[in-house]
Amino acid sequence: MEQPHPMGSPRTRPDAVGPHAGPAAEDAETAAAGRRDGRADQRRPGRGIGPEATGGTAAGDLPPVVVAGGGIVGTAVAFVLQRSVPVVLVEEGDFPGLGETRDAVGILKASVGHPVLDAFAQCTWAFAVAQHRHPRSPLRLTFARLDGHPGRAAFVDHLLLLDAMYLAARRAGLRLLTRTRVMAPVLAGDRVTGVRVARAGGGPQATRPAADRPAGHPVEGWDDVVPASALVLAPGPRPESLAMDGLPRGFASRFVPVKDVVIPFRLPATVETPPAVFTRRSLIWRFALGIEARTLLAAARLEGDWSPPSFDELVALVEDLVERFDLTGEAQLDRVRTLIDLRGPDGLPFVGAVAPWGGARGLFVAAGFGLEGLSTALGAAHAIAAAVLADLADRRLIPGR
Ligand SMILES: Cc1cc2nc3c(=O)[nH]c(=O)nc-3n(C[C@H](O)[C@H](O)[C@H](O)COP(=O)(O)OP(=O)(O)OC[C@H]3O[C@@H](n4cnc5c(N)ncnc54)[C@H](O)[C@@H]3O)c2cc1C
């Protein structure tokens, strides 16, 4: 089981950090400040792009594993891998967690309804419960019924969950590059040896080859190459990041857009709303009670595109809800949200090496979580980490296991 970490982000819980939080308090404050004003990448000047980003761990001179994407999935991958090898986490945004993860409702499920996903979910669940039980962790779960089973789901501050993994990895030596986009792997033959990155806001110079630049150039706005022993792509619902060099031909087209249209229903004052999550009442509809007082969240899961429903489609969805489930209450159409993600091949996330599919060796992908990424992130991260470490051991870059 993962060890609990006493840490948290005062951004979402002002009471979460204090003297009792020990060394984690500074981390958490820095994390929160970074999220607020985008200073995250300025914390360690001169330790960003380039060979110096290699970092030091038990793996000695091994070039780092680069993880592209600092959502819950990429952060979980970095968290697991950093225990064994140096890792550089590269995030295009200002700070980890500001992609799709930021908008998550925050429902954790102990099981998701498929053996592979259930194994992934069990891992995340165990970590979150351990955090919840740790007296110094700010992460607290509100347990809920899952399809009638008590305590099998929970509502969580999902950014605190991400912070718990990120800050632990950082203490273990993780390097973070923010406002930096992974453009492509650098290949020697069919093998990843580095990663080409571009700093945000670079203008025309951002594409200037690293070899052409004068010595001592400012990093901001330039291309560069990070040496890498492997590259893990965890880009969330970003088809363009699933279409870069080194991936199998047509790889991005194997992912299907999915969306949840979430309709809040204001319930009559007389209705009790003990925390509960329902996923099995209908093929399309899922429900959550107890996240907001007197409110039922009804989510229609649809496939094929990411466009928000038209007003007419929304009304039809509400009529369907009212008729099928005999709902009493008021649909709050002004608060409807459309959540988007990709679903991977065969309805499952793609979690593993792309080499068996014709992609480059040393290139790995964790994507297509189909709106279950919070629940499944840590288990998927363990699976990717095992694949990366097996590859490095095969190449005798680290001792075999
Ligand atoms: C509103 C909403 C509610 C949800 N509620 C739940 C829930 O209750 N429970 C649940 O289990 N799931 C939920 N989900 C789904 C869950 O949030 C996602 O499955 C999960 O956050 C996906 O995480 P991710 O790390 O794959 O993607 P993201 O969080 O999008 O992270 C990917 C990151 O990669 C970065 N990136 C992309 N390409 C590059 C590149 N080339 N270089 C550098 N960086 C790059 C992006 O900037 C982004 O920050 C919800 C989703 C939404 C939108």
Residue of 281 and 396 predicted with greater confidence: 396
Residue type, 238: R
Q: Which residues line ligand 1 (CB under 6 A)?
A: 68-74, 90-93, 98-101, 103-107, 181-182, 234-236, 238, 241, 337, 339, 341, 369, 371-375
- For residues 278-298, average pLDDT: 87
Going from the Cα of 324 to the center of ligand 1, the distance in angstroms, rounded, reads 31
Going from the Cα of 182 to the center of ligand 1, the distance in angstroms, rounded, reads 16
Six-digit token string for 130: 């351990």
Going from the Cα of 99 to the center of ligand 1, the distance in angstroms, rounded, reads 5
- Name 274's Cβ contacts closer than 8 Å, sequence gap at least 6: 144, 145, 289, 290
* pLDDT for position 59: 55
Q: What residues does CATH 3.30.70 cover in the chain?
A: 258-341
Going from the Cα of 101 to the center of ligand 1, the distance in angstroms, rounded, reads 4
- For residues 16-24, average pLDDT: 26
Tokens 């990843």 correspond to what residue? 192
CATH number at 258-341:
3.30.70
Is the domain 1-6+46-244+342-401 a CATH 3.50.50.60 member? yes
Per-residue pLDDT at 206 exceeds 60: no
Protein residue whose Cα sits closest to atom 51 of ligand 1: 104
Measured on CA atoms in the order 77, 144, 370, 102, is the torsion positive or negative? negative
pLDDT tens for 207-217 read 444 444 444 44
Going from the Cα of 71 to the center of ligand 1, the distance in angstroms, rounded, reads 5
Atom of ligand 1 lying closest to residue 262 CA: 1
DSSP-assigned letters across all residues of 24-71: HHHHHHHHHHHHHHS-GGGSSTT-SSSGGGG--STTTTPPPEEEE--S
Sort residue 19 into left (φ over 0), alpha (ψ -120 to 50) or beta.
alpha
Per-residue pLDDT at 289 exceeds 60: yes
* pLDDT for position 46: 25
Select from 371, 375, 384 the residue to mutate for testing ligand 1; criterion: most ligand atoms less than 8 Å from CB. 371
Going from the Cα of 77 to the center of ligand 1, the distance in angstroms, rounded, reads 13
Protein residue whose Cα sits closest to atom 33 of ligand 1: 69
Select from 245, 286, 374 the residue to mutate for testing ligand 1; criterion: most ligand atoms less than 8 Å from CB. 374
Q: Helix (H, G, I), strand (E, B), or coil: what is residue 344?
A: coil
CA distance 191 to 186: 8
* pLDDT for position 201: 62
Q: What residues does CATH 3.50.50.60 cover in the chain?
A: 1-6+46-244+342-401
CA distance 343 to 304: 10
Q: Which of 96, 134, 171, 136 is nearest to 15 (CA)?
A: 136
